[in-house]
Amino acid sequence: MADDKLSTAESLRSTRSYGQVRCMNPSCAGRITPAPGQTQAKCPKCGSEWRIFWINAGLPRVKGPVWETSQRLANERLDQIAAEAGKNEELAKKEVK
């Protein structure tokens, strides 16, 4: 049984990316590289903006959205869906305040 070969999960460790966060817009998921200590970052791919927290010097994470940007983008998307679906579409009610 003394099998020292790396398992799939162990071997995937080399693919970890440090110093980066993923854009939290799920279908974008682009990589963002905030400068050390930076507390806000914009996704170069989709324009979403995120507040950043540093777990340690090399490990940033998205703390949450920049609410204003997030709601603006959400409203734009709702308008777009409403326009596509016609004015009676339930989503046109602008549920995002």
- Contact set with Zn ion (CB under 5 A): 23, 25, 28, 30, 43, 45-46, 48
Which among another protein, Zn ion, none contacts residue 45 (Cβ within 5 to 8 A by kind)?
A: Zn ion
Which residue, 1, 40, 43, 3, is CA-closest to 22? 43
Q: How many CB atoms lie within 10 A of CB 50?
A: 26
18 binds another protein (CB under 8 A): yes
The two tokens of residue 65 are: 């959205």
> Is 39 a residue that touches another protein (CB under 8 A)?
no
Cα–Cα distance for residue pair 64/75, rounded to 1 Å: 18
For 15, list phi and psi in degrees, rounded to 5: -90, 0
Q: Which residues bind another protein (CB under 8 A)?
A: 1-3, 7-10, 12-13, 15-16, 18, 22, 24-29, 46, 48, 50, 53, 55-56, 59, 61-65, 67, 70-71, 73-74, 76-78, 81, 90-91, 95-97
